[in-house]
Structure 1
């Protein structure tokens, strides 16, 4: 069995883009890590202005939206971790 070992240097966030459907971390090494926005209900419910009001946290491996109390690490995006309570749009519409 192989275990994924992530070097901390691989977790450095350089930029963030939040659209109506996705969140994208652009990493310092050139990679893009993308996830559906519904994975993060607070960010999904935020206004476009609130979504643009992010900052890379001090260690460089996570991003915070202080106004809406949302913090997402690069590691969470890499391993595919949706926030507790996140529901796919089709399921949420039922």
Structure 2
């Protein structure tokens, strides 16, 4: 997947990366301790890379790649679905 960032917005608990294909990726601040500890102003001071494939915060020395975010969010979604299914059918994931 070659999604490219076109914008970033923030709220109290996370940020959203707006992609050129019309989709948006919601990211919790808990995934990035530097961003979580930063002020709102520092978080908003984000630069999209020239290739549109990454985000960079000069003040925080933080770099985040879009492809990595997509991969991590897919993995988190899969884990959440597995936990939901295991609760519904009472399967202990550790037994698998």
Per the normalisation by structure 2, the TM-score is 0.71
Q: Which has the higher contact order (CA 8 A, sep 6+)?
A: 1
* Number of residue pairs matched by the alignment: 73
Name the SS of the counterpart of 1:78 in structure 2.
helix
Aligned to 1:18, which of 10, 16, 33?
10
Gaps of 5+ in 1: 1-5, 82-94
Aligned to 1:74, which of 60, 63, 66?
66
Where does structure 1 differ by over 3 angstroms across 4 or more consecutive aligned residues? none
Gaps of 5+ in 2: 74-96
Per the normalisation by structure 1, the TM-score is 0.72
Q: Over alpha carbons, which structure has the higher Rg?
A: 2
